[in-house]
Every structure is written in C-alpha cells, then in structure tokens.
Structure 1
C-alpha cells in the first residue's frame, strides 16, 4: 500500500510570533518538509487515525519553539548589554566630572596659597624698608645729637661768628650790637639752642622775621633776620630742632643770623650770648 503525503488542510495553523522570529531556521526545516522528510514521519499516524494527525506533534514544532526562545534570549541579552553600556557611560561621565571638580579645587587652593605667600613677602619687604628707614633716620640724627653740648645746648647755626657782642656802630639804634651775628647764607637751617617754648614768632621790626624761645632755666634766646619761620607761638621745641631758615629781613646788610641771649623776652634784656653758650658747653 502506498503512503500519501499529508495535505495542507491536515496541518496546524501557522505559529504567529515565534514562527516569524525563527524565520531562518524555520525556512530550512520547511524545506525538509517539502522534500518529504516530515511526510515520511507523519505517514504512520495518517494510516492509523485516518489522516487527522497534526504537524504539531512532530519535531518541527519543537525546533521552531527553540529558535523563538533563542531569539528572545538574544534580544534580552542585547537589551541588557545596551543598559550596561548606558550605565557604564553615565558612571564614566560622573567620574570625569568629579575629577574635573577636584582638579579645579586643587588649582584654586594652589592659587590661594601662592597669593598668601606673595602677600607675606610684600609685608616682609615693607617691614624691611621701614626698618631701614628708621636706621637711616637714626644715623642722620646721630651727628645732631653729638653736637649737643654737655648742658643739652647746641650752636644755632653751623657757622662762625662774624660780629661780636657790644660791637659799636651807627647800624644799631642803641649804639652797640645787642647780640652776635653768625655767618649764614640764605636759607641756612637755624636751630633752637636748647629745649623750650616759643613765645614769639613773626615780624620783629628791625629784626625782621624773628623767633624768641623761653628755656627751662628761665632764660630766653632770640633769632633774627630769618627768611622763613617754621614754628608757632606756644609750640615746644627741643635742642637742635630746626625752627627756621636764615635770611636778610629787617635792618640787615645781607644774609646772616642775629642771635641774642636774654634774661627776658623783650629787647633790652640782652646778655653776652658767647658766654651764655659756653656756660652750657657750646664753644663758638
């Protein structure tokens, strides 16, 4: 008895999704079916049940289902790989951002440290300059201190006497010189001979611009014919302090310093200025 091939009406309807996903494998197996392999496997069933057997019961269905499961597994693996890639990229970006932030913070800290060091260096340089200026001023003041006599007095100018005390002549209204004159060119610094208080500073008539100072021992000194005055009435001065500049104001024949020592602040209370200075340790 001859076997007949199962017709299409006895086959199971197409598998919807899994059949499509296993297209490549299914196509191959379907080719085998066309060649009669599946028909041969199905023939005994057709002989026993009158041709009602389903292809579902054959190995073809299992192969298709296996292919479908494999495709789903591949899809799932691809999705998991994609998710892992995205996660790895996000982690790498986060690490890069953290490294960038750390580098910027380190750079800022280094810059702040550099600025602090520069500021410290500037402060040290400033202090060094101030100390040097103080030392220079101290050295400059040393000669002045050395010029102070044993009694705390100094000469009023660094010049020699040109006209002595009580020198006679028509130049003076009293008929004689009430003080001594020192050689001093225009604008030679004039100093207070001792510590004291300024009691007069301004125009003194024949004396021109003049200054009168009362000293701690009750005596007075007067400085005349000044070109400019550098102190004011009521001001305290020290020995050797500059009080003005020499000149030729008032009744004067040329630049010089007229100096008087007095027992009082006014004209007519004069005493020998050379003896006065020598009494206080200053030789002129």
Structure 2
C-alpha cells in the first residue's frame, strides 16, 4: 500500500507514520518467514514454487515499497517548501521594487513641483521688477542734454534779457545736439516762441511745466505724449541767441513769467546738475 497526500499545504510526513510503515513491513516479513518455514517441505518437493510465492506476497511488496514511498514524499515536500519560499522571496522583492519605484516617482514629482514653483516665483519677481523699473523710468527725471553742464545760471543779470535777468538756465550744446524731455508729460506748445526762437513747452504729471528754447528743429507736436528722456528736438541758435545752446526753464504754468528755479527743480527730482 503506497502513501499518498492530498494537495494543499505541504507537511513533512510524521515519525508516527514512518514508524507504522516500518512495523507493517517487519510484521509482513515475519509472517512470510513463518509461512516459509511451514511450507519448506513444499519448497523441497516443488523446487522454486515457494520462492515465487514469496516474491508475490503483498505484505512483502508493501514492506519493501514503504521506505521508498516515504523518501519520495519527503522529497516532494522539500521541493514544495523550497518553491513556496522562493515564491515568497520573489514576491517580497517585487513589492520592495514597486515601493522603491513609487518612492522615487513621488520624490521626482515633488522635485518637479518645487522647481516649477520656484521658476514661477522667479518669473513673477522678474515681472514685478520690470514693471517697477518701467514705472520708475516713467516717473524719473533726466538732464535735457545728456552729459552737459550749465553755462548760464538762473536770474543772471544782463542786457540780453528783456526782463533784465535770465528766466532759466542755459545748457552747453553744439548745433543739432539731441534735446530730451526731462520727464514724462504732454506737449502743450511746439513752434516759434518769439525771443525763444523755436521752442517746446511740456506739462508734466505733477502739474509743473518745462520749456526748451532756441531749437534748430522740433520733433514733437502739440497734444503728443512724451516719455522721460525721449528726444524731442535738436539744439540750435534761433530767436534771441548769441550761439548754439539750449535754454531750459521750469515753470509753475505754461506762460512766460511763471518761471521757478530750474536747478532746484531738477535736483528736487533726483537729477544731478
């Protein structure tokens, strides 16, 4: 009788089972021995007949087969156990690999999000800085003639001026030197200004006015908006002038006689004169 095991969990065959199989084999052998002793005359008479009966005894076959079956069963159990262990190890490694990949994916995603957020903040900061710079530029004041200096001061006396004194300041400038608006504003006068020759008057956002005289040519028109530092004309010597230069006035109103100290005006707005 061979030992069999149902499928499912594999368990190593118990010692009791192996002992039972061994006892059955010994009992079978003992029985066969007794039978053999009783039947010995028959062996003598019949020659090899007894030997054939011994080989065909079911007890003997079972006794001889039991140890072999036990060994095969144990081998099958060990193989199944190793297979289960290998499967468990493989699944554990697979889960570990998945967990590692997921952790890496989350870390990479977090890095991308952080980088995107940083880039967005930097972009916003640059936009704000550019807007602030543009606003500052729009509100900034500059010299009307770049790199120039005052050649005739404010309220300087002399017979050249009908009022008896200089109502503005003169900036040194050769013929056709670019003339710029000192600040953003709107052109309220552009053309011949009598003693001022070709002149421009600009109204600024703070309600003050600036005037540019003795121009050789005018590049803007009345009603036009200009930016701080925008070129509006070329210097010259038109009107009551002794040579090429720029006459510059700061005024509280658009008309002659509303002049204020142009040097103090420019310095008040951050211009070094």
TM-score with structure 2 setting the length: 0.49
Q: Larger radius of gyration, structure 1 or 2? A: 1
